[in-house]
Amino acid sequence: MIKIYPSLLAADFYDLKKEIKDIEAADGMHIDVMDGHFVNNITIGVPVIKSIRKHTTKFLDVHLMIENPLEYIKVFSFAGADSITFHLEVADDPLFVIEAIKCMRNKVGVSIKPETDVPDLSVLKAVDSVLVMSVEPGFGGQEYIETTDEKIKKLAMIKKENNLNFEIAVDGGINLTNAKRVIECGADVLIAGSAIFNEKNRKKAINKMRG
Protein backbone atom coordinates (compact mmCIF):
# COMPACT_ATOMS: atom_id res chain seq x y z
CA MET A 1 0.00 0.00 0.00
CA ILE A 2 1.38 3.33 -1.05
CA LYS A 3 1.97 5.89 1.70
CA ILE A 4 1.48 9.62 1.23
CA TYR A 5 3.42 12.11 3.35
CA PRO A 6 2.53 15.76 2.65
CA SER A 7 5.56 18.02 2.93
CA LEU A 8 4.84 20.76 5.47
CA LEU A 9 7.15 23.14 3.64
CA ALA A 10 4.19 24.08 1.43
CA ALA A 11 1.81 24.62 4.35
CA ASP A 12 0.66 27.95 5.75
CA PHE A 13 2.84 28.26 8.87
CA TYR A 14 0.60 30.90 10.35
CA ASP A 15 -2.14 28.31 10.57
CA LEU A 16 -0.16 25.10 11.05
CA LYS A 17 -2.74 23.58 13.38
CA LYS A 18 -5.43 23.75 10.72
CA GLU A 19 -3.03 22.66 7.98
CA ILE A 20 -2.08 19.52 9.92
CA LYS A 21 -5.72 18.75 10.66
CA ASP A 22 -6.42 19.09 6.98
CA ILE A 23 -4.01 16.27 6.07
CA GLU A 24 -5.52 13.70 8.44
CA ALA A 25 -6.06 11.37 5.46
CA ALA A 26 -2.30 11.07 4.94
CA ASP A 27 -0.05 8.42 6.50
CA GLY A 28 2.24 10.90 8.16
CA MET A 29 3.95 14.16 7.37
CA HIS A 30 7.31 15.10 5.93
CA ILE A 31 9.32 17.83 7.63
CA ASP A 32 12.16 19.51 5.73
CA VAL A 33 15.02 20.74 7.90
CA MET A 34 17.48 22.94 5.99
CA ASP A 35 20.59 24.62 7.38
CA GLY A 36 21.57 27.18 4.74
CA HIS A 37 24.81 25.22 4.11
CA PHE A 38 23.94 21.86 2.60
CA VAL A 39 21.20 23.67 0.71
CA ASN A 40 20.60 27.31 -0.04
CA ASN A 41 17.63 27.71 2.24
CA ILE A 42 16.72 27.72 5.94
CA THR A 43 13.45 26.18 7.08
CA ILE A 44 11.99 24.30 10.01
CA GLY A 45 13.91 23.37 13.17
CA VAL A 46 13.59 21.67 16.53
CA PRO A 47 11.03 23.98 18.28
CA VAL A 48 8.49 23.58 15.48
CA ILE A 49 8.84 19.79 15.46
CA LYS A 50 8.45 19.73 19.26
CA SER A 51 5.22 21.70 19.02
CA ILE A 52 3.83 19.50 16.27
CA ARG A 53 4.70 16.35 18.23
CA LYS A 54 2.67 17.55 21.22
CA HIS A 55 -0.47 17.62 19.14
CA THR A 56 -0.30 14.68 16.77
CA THR A 57 0.39 10.98 16.87
CA LYS A 58 0.96 10.95 13.11
CA PHE A 59 4.26 9.66 11.73
CA LEU A 60 6.82 12.49 11.61
CA ASP A 61 9.26 11.92 8.78
CA VAL A 62 12.15 14.32 9.33
CA HIS A 63 14.34 15.04 6.30
CA LEU A 64 17.66 16.54 7.37
CA MET A 65 19.18 18.65 4.61
CA ILE A 66 22.06 19.68 6.85
CA GLU A 67 25.82 19.35 6.79
CA ASN A 68 26.47 17.64 10.12
CA PRO A 69 23.63 15.20 10.72
CA LEU A 70 25.49 13.28 13.44
CA GLU A 71 25.56 16.37 15.66
CA TYR A 72 21.79 16.79 15.50
CA ILE A 73 20.37 13.28 15.70
CA LYS A 74 19.72 13.42 19.44
CA VAL A 75 17.91 16.75 19.39
CA PHE A 76 15.65 15.79 16.50
CA SER A 77 14.93 12.45 18.10
CA PHE A 78 14.02 14.10 21.42
CA ALA A 79 11.96 16.67 19.56
CA GLY A 80 9.71 13.82 18.44
CA ALA A 81 10.84 12.61 15.04
CA ASP A 82 9.72 9.10 14.12
CA SER A 83 12.04 8.73 11.19
CA ILE A 84 15.29 10.61 10.64
CA THR A 85 16.69 10.82 7.14
CA PHE A 86 20.18 12.16 6.41
CA HIS A 87 21.95 12.81 3.11
CA LEU A 88 24.46 10.28 1.83
CA GLU A 89 26.50 13.15 0.31
CA VAL A 90 27.49 14.51 3.74
CA ALA A 91 28.25 11.23 5.49
CA ASP A 92 31.84 9.96 5.39
CA ASP A 93 30.71 6.89 7.26
CA PRO A 94 27.01 6.37 6.51
CA LEU A 95 26.83 3.14 8.52
CA PHE A 96 27.96 5.02 11.61
CA VAL A 97 25.24 7.65 11.15
CA ILE A 98 22.68 4.89 10.60
CA GLU A 99 23.70 3.20 13.86
CA ALA A 100 23.52 6.52 15.74
CA ILE A 101 19.93 7.02 14.54
CA LYS A 102 19.00 3.44 15.40
CA CYS A 103 20.43 3.92 18.89
CA MET A 104 17.81 6.62 19.42
CA ARG A 105 15.15 4.06 18.43
CA ASN A 106 14.22 6.04 15.36
CA LYS A 107 13.51 4.72 11.90
CA VAL A 108 16.39 5.61 9.64
CA GLY A 109 16.42 6.89 6.10
CA VAL A 110 19.18 7.81 3.71
CA SER A 111 18.58 10.40 1.00
CA ILE A 112 20.27 10.87 -2.37
CA LYS A 113 20.36 13.98 -4.55
CA PRO A 114 19.50 13.71 -8.26
CA GLU A 115 23.18 13.38 -9.25
CA THR A 116 23.98 10.74 -6.63
CA ASP A 117 23.89 7.06 -7.50
CA VAL A 118 22.00 4.56 -5.35
CA PRO A 119 23.69 3.65 -2.03
CA ASP A 120 25.86 0.54 -1.57
CA LEU A 121 24.23 -2.70 -0.57
CA SER A 122 25.68 -2.40 2.95
CA VAL A 123 23.71 0.84 3.41
CA LEU A 124 20.56 -0.52 1.75
CA LYS A 125 20.63 -3.48 4.13
CA ALA A 126 20.79 -1.18 7.15
CA VAL A 127 18.15 1.46 6.44
CA ASP A 128 14.36 1.55 6.70
CA SER A 129 13.99 3.87 3.74
CA VAL A 130 15.78 5.48 0.83
CA LEU A 131 14.60 8.99 0.02
CA VAL A 132 15.15 9.60 -3.66
CA MET A 133 15.27 13.32 -4.42
CA SER A 134 13.44 14.01 -7.65
CA VAL A 135 14.40 17.71 -7.54
CA GLU A 136 17.54 19.49 -6.33
CA PRO A 137 16.97 19.73 -2.58
CA GLY A 138 16.34 23.20 -1.17
CA PHE A 139 12.95 24.37 -2.36
CA GLY A 140 9.42 23.16 -2.88
CA GLY A 141 7.43 23.76 -6.04
CA GLN A 142 10.04 22.53 -8.52
CA GLU A 143 9.49 20.21 -11.45
CA TYR A 144 10.04 16.45 -11.16
CA ILE A 145 13.30 15.39 -12.85
CA GLU A 146 12.25 12.66 -15.29
CA THR A 147 15.48 10.61 -15.01
CA THR A 148 14.45 9.82 -11.41
CA ASP A 149 12.19 7.10 -12.83
CA GLU A 150 15.22 5.00 -13.77
CA LYS A 151 16.76 5.42 -10.34
CA ILE A 152 13.57 4.27 -8.64
CA LYS A 153 13.42 1.23 -10.93
CA LYS A 154 17.07 0.42 -10.20
CA LEU A 155 16.47 0.59 -6.45
CA ALA A 156 13.32 -1.51 -6.75
CA MET A 157 15.29 -4.14 -8.63
CA ILE A 158 18.13 -4.24 -6.08
CA LYS A 159 15.53 -4.48 -3.34
CA LYS A 160 13.80 -7.41 -5.00
CA GLU A 161 16.98 -9.27 -5.99
CA ASN A 162 18.34 -9.06 -2.45
CA ASN A 163 15.05 -9.57 -0.68
CA LEU A 164 15.39 -6.28 1.24
CA ASN A 165 12.72 -4.37 3.13
CA PHE A 166 13.60 -0.69 2.82
CA GLU A 167 10.91 1.65 1.55
CA ILE A 168 11.53 3.70 -1.56
CA ALA A 169 10.36 7.27 -0.92
CA VAL A 170 10.32 9.89 -3.64
CA ASP A 171 10.52 13.59 -2.84
CA GLY A 172 10.06 16.61 -5.09
CA GLY A 173 7.69 17.63 -7.86
CA ILE A 174 5.23 14.82 -7.20
CA ASN A 175 1.75 15.71 -8.45
CA LEU A 176 -1.48 14.09 -9.56
CA THR A 177 -0.16 13.68 -13.10
CA ASN A 178 3.06 11.80 -12.33
CA ALA A 179 2.15 10.00 -9.07
CA LYS A 180 0.79 6.88 -10.79
CA ARG A 181 3.91 6.49 -12.92
CA VAL A 182 6.23 6.97 -9.93
CA ILE A 183 4.32 4.29 -8.02
CA GLU A 184 4.60 1.96 -11.01
CA CYS A 185 8.38 2.52 -11.05
CA GLY A 186 8.50 1.12 -7.51
CA ALA A 187 7.87 3.94 -5.03
CA ASP A 188 6.40 2.96 -1.65
CA VAL A 189 6.10 6.49 -0.27
CA LEU A 190 5.24 9.71 -2.09
CA ILE A 191 6.23 13.04 -0.55
CA ALA A 192 4.25 15.96 -1.92
CA GLY A 193 4.18 19.58 -0.83
CA SER A 194 2.61 21.97 -3.32
CA ALA A 195 0.45 19.35 -5.04
CA ILE A 196 -1.39 18.82 -1.75
CA PHE A 197 -1.26 22.16 0.06
CA ASN A 198 -2.09 24.21 -3.05
CA GLU A 199 -5.36 22.31 -3.33
CA LYS A 200 -8.41 23.52 -1.46
CA ASN A 201 -9.52 20.00 -0.69
CA ARG A 202 -6.41 18.33 0.72
CA LYS A 203 -8.20 15.09 1.59
CA LYS A 204 -9.30 14.66 -2.00
CA ALA A 205 -5.79 15.41 -3.29
CA ILE A 206 -4.24 12.85 -0.91
CA ASN A 207 -6.70 10.14 -1.85
CA LYS A 208 -6.37 10.86 -5.56
CA MET A 209 -2.61 10.58 -5.25
CA ARG A 210 -2.96 7.05 -3.91
CA GLY A 211 -4.39 6.15 -7.32
**Of 22, 128, 149, 171, which is the active-site residue?**
171
35 is catalytic: no
User: E-strand spans in the chain?
Assistant: 3-6, 28-34, 59-65, 83-87, 107-112, 129-133, 167-171, 189-192
56 binds ligand DX5 (CB under 6 A): no
Partner in contact with 108, chosen from Zn ion, ligand DX5, none, beta carbon below 5 to 8 Å by kind: none
Interaction residues for ligand DX5, span 168-207 (CB under 6 A): 171-174, 191-195
Rounded-to-integer distance, Cα 43 and Cα 31, Å: 9
State the Cα–Cα distance between residues 189 and 167, nearest whole angstrom: 7
Residues making contact with Zn ion (CB under 5 A): 32, 63, 171
| Options 28, 94, 140, 186; binder of ligand DX5; rule CB under 6 A | 140
Q: Does 132 bind ligand DX5 (CB under 6 A)?
A: no
- Minimum distance, C-beta of residue 10 to ligand DX5, in the bound complex (Å): 5
Q: Are 183 and 2 in contact (CB under 8 A)?
A: yes
Cα separation values, 41 from 50, 65, 97, 139, 140, Å: 21, 9, 23, 7, 11
Q: Which residues are catalytic?
A: 32, 171
> Rule CB under 6 A: which residues touch ligand DX5?
7, 9-10, 30, 32, 63, 135, 137-142, 171-174, 191-195
